[in-house]
A = this chain, B = another copy of it.
Amino acid sequence: MVSLSEAEPLIKRAVSANEMLVVIGNCYVEYFGRAASKLLNGKRMLLIKADKSFAIHQNKYLRPINYMMNADITVKFNAANECLEVIASKRNPKETIKVTFNSIDFLQGFKLDDFQDIRLFGSEDELSAQLLDDLSFIENGLKPYKGEIPFRKGVVDILAEDEKGNIVVIEVKRRKATLDAVSQLHRYKEQLSKIKHKNVRGLLLAPEITVNAMKMLEDYGLEFFKFDFEISNPKARIKGLQRKQRTLFEV
């Protein structure tokens, strides 16, 4: 137990020292900004990090119930109402979270030295890069497109050219393709067709596709290419693709 008046300076010091601050207590929370919300009294955790991310965690869910990135944080002990107000605010967009503590069970700032960044494998970017090395497993003679295309880099996953000289725009999805993915590909194909006045093919590469997405893809005259990939090992991934060659058009 920490008294509310004691808490005020402790919070201020921890925040200015860029510590990871944990406050647990009974509070209610009001938010106003892009939307508005109210959370009535209950016991929760307030978590403030070095980058001024501000989060209220209930004892459920991965994500905080109220939150703000890059918050300006002010703390004020209200003697008249016997409560401690912790306020996070920012502009652009203008937003405010007010946390009003009635009691505090626990309060501590932690100095967390952590200079490591996560290394993630199996992202869509990584997949696309792998695929670009060898497109022939998709179709004989398919290779990266060499020409100039006024397309913002990174928008289209892969641009290729087939044996007949058609441009092939390829959208890669690391998980089951949905209606969204088909719409996206359709968009790219249409935009490309307008720019280049030749035949453009649209190819969706994914491990699976929903039934509705498949129907829509066929309506749009796009093509689906099923593929599986191994997360653990880049080599295995490409080999896996090659092994799949025979059954690629199974849906």
Contacts and interface: CB of A to CB of B under 8 A. Distances in A.
A47 B110 CA distance: 14
Interface of A: 18-20, 22, 24, 32, 34-45, 47, 49-51, 53, 55, 57-67, 69, 105-106, 108, 110-116, 118-123, 174-175, 179-180, 183-184, 186-187, 216, 231-232
Nearest to A24: B110
Nearest to A40: B116
Nearest to A179: B187
A247 to B, nearest CB: 22
A175 B113 CA distance: 38
Given A43-B113, A59-B114, A106-B108, 15 more contacts: A32-B232, A35-B174, A36-B232, A37-B119, A42-B112, A42-B113, A43-B114, A49-B58, A49-B59, A53-B61, A62-B69, A105-B110, A179-B187, A180-B180, A183-B187
A179 B45 CA distance: 38
Contact of A32 (B63, B114, B231): B231
B121 A24 contact: no
Task: Give how many copies assemble into the complex.
Answer: 2
B57 A62 contact: no
A37 B37 CA distance: 35
A41 B116 contact: yes
Contact of A183 (B20, B64, B186): B186
Nearest 6 CB-CB pairings of A with B:
A42-B114, A35-B122, A183-B183, A59-B112, A51-B60, A36-B121
6 contacts: A24-B110, A35-B121, A35-B231, A42-B112, A49-B58, A59-B114
A38 B110 contact: no
Contact of A121 (B37, B112, B186): B37
A106 B107 CA distance: 12
A32 B233 CA distance: 12
